[in-house]
Amino acid sequence: MSRRGKKADPHAAREAANYDNPIPSREFILEQLREADRPVDTQQIADLLGLTEQQDVDALRNRLRAMQRDGQLLVDRRGAYGVVDKMNLLRCRVQGHRDGYGFAVPQAGGEDVYLSARQMGQVFDGDTVLVAVSGIDRRGRQEGKVVEVLERGVQKVVGRYQEESGIGFVIPDNARITQQVLIPPAAKGKAISGQIVTALITDYPKGRLGAKGEIIEVLGDHMDPGLEIDVAIRAHGIPFEWPEPVLEEASYLKDEPEEKDKKNRIDMRDVPFVTIDGEDARDFDDAVYCKKKRFGGWRLWVAIADVSHYVRPGSALDAEAQTRGNSVYFPERVVPMFPEVLSNGLCSLKPGVDRLSQVVEIDLTNDGVIKRFCFFEAVIHSHARLTYTQVGEALEQGQADGVPVERVPDLQRLQALYRVLRTAREQRGAIDFETVETRIIFNEQRKIDAIVPVHRNDAHKLIEECMLCANVATAQFFEKHKLPTLFRVHEGPGEERLENLRTFLGELGLGLRGGNNPSPKDYQALMEQVADRDDANVIQTMMLRSLRQAVYQPENKGHFGLNYDGYAHFTSPIRRYPDLLIHRGIRAIIRSKTRSKLVRRADGAELLPMERSYPYDEKTVTALGEHFSVTERRADDATRDVQSWLKCEYLQDHVGAEFGGVVAAVTSFGLFVELEDLYIEGLVHITALPGDYYRFDPAHQRLVGERSGRTFQLGDKVSVQVARVDLDDKKIDLELVDAPARRKARAEGGGGKRKAPAKSDSAASDGKKGGGRKKPSDSKKSSSTRNSDAGKKDDAGKKSDAGKKGDAGKDEGKKGGGRSRARKKPAAASPAADASSAPPTRAGPDVEVLTKPRPKSKASEPKTDTATAPDQDADGAAPKKKARRRGGRRRRPASSS
C-alpha cells in the first residue's frame, strides 16, 4: 500500500465544534479509504490519518464501527475496512415472499436483486443488508448474496405456537416471514401448543442455525372476534401503543384553537366551506368551495386541516407519526397516525367551529386547466358536515334531508366544476380502470353477514377531482421553489411486463400503441376499444398488471396513471406523513422572506428561519420516502390479511356449498376463482382439474391439457364447490362442479389442429415434465394463496364512502365503515414454484390509476364477472400439514445446537 502525505480534513472545523477531542470526519475517512488500493485495518487507517495518541485511535475505532453499522464500511475476515461502494456492494432492504425466496431492494434505486431461499434463510423481511450481485439468472435478473446484515427489521413475530416431538416453535403469521422461530422449553412461558403468541427474537439465523425466541405474550387460543386485527397489527410490526412522551405532549393540546393562533392568518370564515365524507367518518380533514368567475373560468378553494401548526419537527408527536408513516384502516377499527385529540379534534374541520387550515386557491379555465394558484394559512369555519349520500340525493333531487337549502347551489357548482375537470381528464388521457367497491356487513358477533357492492355517486367524484387539483398545484409549487420534498411518483410500465401484455393482447388480435414507450393515452384508448367485449375485465386485468408501483421519492418523474407531469400528496396530513411534510414545506415558504407569487402571507405573520420550519435536505427526504413507501405496503399487507381471515371465516359456514364463479387468475399450480356475489377468491388446485395433465402457459395466462388440449383461462365462467377452508393459513380450496365447454388451445402463430405439447422444462414453472397436472406425489406445494401486491389503484385524492380521502382504491374498511375495495382480477401472480423452476419475479407491485365503478354486467354475463381491486387478498387453500403454511415447504426448526 502506498503512503501519501497527510491531507487536511475539510470538515475539521465542524468536528472541533462538536467534540472536545476531535478526530477526522467520516467524509475524510471515506476519501482516504477510497484512495487506498485495498482494505486496511484500524492501525493502518490511523497511520493514514496521522493519529498517534491512543485515545485518538480508540475514538477512530468507535467511529469505524459506527460507519460499519451504518453501511458505509464493510469489514472483511481479516478485520480490514473497505468502502462499500468500492466493493461492488449494494445497501438494500429485504422483501420476503411467502414461498421462501425474496428480493433485495436497493435503497439507492435500481433493479431489485433476487435472493434464493437459501440466502433468505439468514434474513427476515424488512432487514437492511449489504448484497453482492453474484450473477444473472436464466430470466436475465440479478441474483445476489447477502454479505452482511446491517440492521434487523423484525424484533418480534406473531403466530401460532406449536410443539412437535418436544420441540417448540412459532410459525409467523406474516406471510413474508417463512422461517419458523425455535422456542426453547425455558422460553415458552405459559404458552400451550396451538395458542397464538408474540415471540421476541433472541437469536437471529446464522449459518445452519435458525432463529430462536422467547414467548412474551399469549394472545389467545382461537381467533375470537377482533383478534385477527390484533394479530395483523403485531405480525406486521405496526406501532399501536402511544409512548408516554406522546401522550404527555397531546395532553397539553386544547380542545379548540386559541385566539392567538387565529391571528396572522387569512380570515376565510365567511366562505361557505363544506365537508363531504362517509356516514361513519369522524375526522374531517378537507373542506371545499368553488364559484364561477365573472369573466369566465372557475375559482376553487380546498382547505386542509393545518396539522403542521400543532406538530412541530422533532417533537414526540412528530417522531411517533414518522415511525407510523400513515394511519391503518381495518374493518371497524383504525390505528391512527396521531392521537384522537388531533385527528378527531383540533384537526377535524367540524361544522360551526373555527379551525386552522392551509388553503390552496386555484383558478381554472373553462376547460379545466389550472391557470393560477396560491397557498396561504387561514382560519375557516365549516358551514355544513355532509355525507356522500346526502350530497348525491341533493344533486339528483335538488334537496335532501340534512342539507341546508342555501348549500344546494354551492353543491351544484361543485358538480358543474367536476364535469369540467372530468372532461379535461378524459382529454388528458388518464387511465381509468373500472372497479367494484365492496362493503363488509358485520352481525352482532362481528362476523361477516354479507359482502355488498358500493356504488360511487357524483359526490365521491367531485371530491376526488378537487383533491386531484390541489395535489397537482402542490407538485407545481415545489417544482417552482426547488424545495426537497416527496413527490408521488408512478413510472410507466416495465419492459418485461409490457412484453407479457403485448403477447397476451396479440393472442386476442389486439394491440397497444406506443411501441416500447406507450403513453397513458395509449392505455386509455385500448380500454375504450375493449369496453364492450365479454373479456374486457380480463384484458383490463392484464393491463393493470403491467404497471409499476407508485412510490414516494424526491425526484419528480411524473405520474403515469394520472398522466400528470407532477403529483404530490397535500390533502391528508392527519393520516399520511408525506402530506405533513408537504404542509411544512408550504408553511416554510409562506413564513420565510422568499418572494413568491404562489403564496399569500397575512399581515403581521411571524417570519421563521427556514431551517427551523423545514429542516430537511435531499438525503433526509430520500430516506423518508423509502420509509413511507414501506409503511404504506405494511398497512396494505396487514389489512389484506384481516380481510382474508374474515372471508375465510365466512366461508367456513359454507363448506360443501356450490357457487358460480369466474376464473380471476391462472398460475402454475391452479386457478383462482372469484365466487359469485361474494367477491371472495379460492383456489382450484391443478391436481383437481379433470381428466388430463395440465401445463401453465404464462404468455396467454391459461392452463392447457396435454392430451385433450382443453384450456382454462382468465374470465372463464365455472361452477365450484367449497371443499375446504383453513383459517390459520387463510386459504380456501375449491373444486370444479362443471368445467367450461371443451375448448382446444390454439397454437402460437396460427390456428389449425394442435399437436400435443412437447414436454419441456419451460412448459410450466412447476418443474415437472411438461408441467402438466401434478401427480399426487408431486403436489406438495399446493399453495392456495396468490400474492395480490399488484394493481393497487391510485390515491389520487379520492374519498371512499368510509370517509378516507386521497387514496382512491385503498378504502378497505376505512374510518369505521368496515369497507373494503373489491380486487381487480390480476393476472397470474407467482406465489408458488418448485425449487427446480426458475425463480419468479417479485410479486406485482402496487400501481396507481384512476378508477371508476364498473357498470352492471350484460344480461348474458353472470353477476360475478366483476373485477376486484388487487390490494385485497382472499387466499385459497391447500391441504394443511403440520408445520406448513402458505404453500411454502416448512423445514423442521433448527435445533438449539
Burial class of 17 by CB neighbour count within 10 A (0 to 12, 13 to 18, 19+): exposed
Cell 408525506 locates to 578
Residue 835 domain flag: yes
Report whether 69 contacts 150 (CB < 8 A).
yes
pLDDT at residue 750, as a whole number? 38
Same domain, 422 and 397: yes
Q: Can you say how many angstroms the Cα of residue 869 is from the centroid of all Cα atoms in its chain?
A: 13
Same domain, 757 and 835: yes
Residue 398 domain flag: yes
Report whether 846 contacts 790 (CB < 8 A).
yes
Same domain, 469 and 580: yes
Amino acid at the residue 772: G
User: What's the CA gap between 780 and 825, in Å, rounded?
Assistant: 26
pLDDT at residue 809, as a whole number? 35
User: What's the CA gap between 639 and 873, in Å, rounded?
Assistant: 9
Indicate the SS3 state at residue 23.
coil
pLDDT at residue 770, as a whole number? 37
pLDDT at residue 744, as a whole number? 55
User: What's the CA gap between 237 and 324, in Å, rounded?
Assistant: 10
Same domain, 461 and 371: yes
Q: What share of the chain is helix, strand, coil (3-state, %, to 5)?
A: 30, 25, 45
For every residue of 807-853, DSSP letters joined together read -TT--TTGGGS-EEEPPP-PPP------TTSPPPPPPPPP---EEEE
C-alpha closest to that of 597 among 471, 473, 485: 473
- H-assigned helices in 96-208: 117-120
Same domain, 579 and 562: yes
C-alpha closest to that of 667 among 556, 577, 771: 771
Same domain, 329 and 434: yes
Ramachandran bin of 398, using left for φ above 0, alpha for ψ from -120 to 50, beta for the remaining angles: left
Cell 341533493 locates to 394
pLDDT at residue 688, as a whole number? 92
Report whether 273 contacts 300 (CB < 8 A).
no
Report whether 655 contacts 842 (CB < 8 A).
no
Q: Where are the beta strands (DSSP E) in 79-191?
A: 81-83, 89-96, 102-106, 113-115, 128-136, 142-151, 156-164, 167-172, 181-183
Please say which residue of 503, 527, 546 terminates a domain. Answer: 546
The x, y and z cell numbers of residue 639, run together, are: 389489512
Q: What are phi and psi of 334, to 5 degrees?
A: -125, 135
Counting every residue written for the chain, the total comes to: 897
Same domain, 301 and 215: no
Cβ neighbours for 471, distance < 8 A, ≥ 6 positions apart: 488, 567, 568, 569, 570, 571, 796, 797, 806
Please say which residue of 132, 151, 170 terminates a domain. Answer: 151
User: What's the CA gap between 843 and 854, in Å, rounded?
Assistant: 26
User: What's the CA gap between 472 and 548, in Å, rounded?
Assistant: 20
Q: Where are the beta strands (DSSP E) in 443-591?
A: 448-454, 487-490, 550-553
pLDDT digits (tens, 9 = 90+) for 777-806: 333 333 444 544 433 444 444 443 333 444
Domain count, the chain: 6
- In this structure, the strands spanning 211-220 and 181-183 are parallel
The x, y and z cell numbers of residue 355, run together, are: 379551525
Cβ neighbours for 821, distance < 8 A, ≥ 6 positions apart: 435, 437, 438, 793, 800, 809, 810, 811, 812, 868, 869, 871, 872
- Dihedral of the alpha carbons of 628, 633, 637, 640, in degrees to the nearest 10: 110
Same domain, 483 and 449: yes
Indicate the SS3 state at residue 478.
helix
Same domain, 289 and 373: yes
Cβ neighbours for 199, distance < 8 A, ≥ 6 positions apart: 156, 157, 158, 159, 161, 170, 181, 183, 213, 214, 215, 216
Report whether 543 contacts 513 (CB < 8 A).
no
pTM for the full predicted model:
0.75
**Element (DSSP H or E) covering residue 658:** strand 658-667
User: What's the CA gap between 114 and 840, in Å, rounded?
Assistant: 9
Distance spanning both ends of the chain, measured CA to CA: 43
pLDDT at residue 6, as a whole number? 55
CATH of residue 170: 2.40.50.700
**Element (DSSP H or E) covering residue 221:** none
CATH of residue 709: 2.40.50.140
pLDDT at residue 24, as a whole number? 87
Low-confidence residues of the chain, pLDDT below 50?
A: 1-5, 746-785, 787-847, 851-897
pLDDT at residue 136, as a whole number? 81
Same domain, 290 and 189: no
User: What's the CA gap between 327 and 340, in Å, rounded?
Assistant: 12
Residue 133 domain flag: yes
Rounded to 5 degrees, what angle do the CA atoms 569, 574, 577 make?
55
User: What's the CA gap between 896 and 894, in Å, rounded?
Assistant: 6
Q: How many CB atoms lie within 10 A of CB 171?
A: 23
Residue 235 domain flag: no
Same domain, 540 and 683: no
Q: Can you say how many angstroms the Cα of residue 319 is from the centroid of all Cα atoms in its chain?
A: 21
**Element (DSSP H or E) covering residue 504:** helix 495-507
DSSP annotation of 895: P
Report whether 349 contacts 386 (CB < 8 A).
no
**Element (DSSP H or E) covering residue 887:** none
Residue 286 domain flag: yes
Cβ neighbours for 366, distance < 8 A, ≥ 6 positions apart: 296, 297, 298, 420
Crossing angle between the packed helical segments 316-324 and 577-590, to the nearest 10 degrees: 130
Same domain, 282 and 350: yes
Cβ neighbours for 441, distance < 8 A, ≥ 6 positions apart: 448, 449, 450, 451, 452, 818
User: What's the CA gap between 732 and 874, in Å, rounded?
Assistant: 8
Report whether 787 contacts 843 (CB < 8 A).
yes
User: What's the CA gap between 691 and 678, in Å, rounded?
Assistant: 29
Q: Which residues pair with 695 in a beta bridge?
A: 704
Q: Which residues pair with 217 in a beta bridge?
A: 198
> Half-sphere exposure (CA, 13 Å, Cβ side) for 393?
12
Residue 186 domain flag: yes
Report whether 809 contacts 682 (CB < 8 A).
no
Residue 255 domain flag: yes
**Element (DSSP H or E) covering residue 449:** strand 448-454
Report whether 680 contacts 651 (CB < 8 A).
yes
Residue 405 domain flag: yes
C-alpha closest to that of 576 among 324, 302, 811, 856: 324
Please say which residue of 546, 568, 586 terminates a domain. Answer: 546
Domain range for 419 is 244-490+556-636
pLDDT digits (tens, 9 = 90+) for 629-651: 999 999 999 999 999 999 999 99
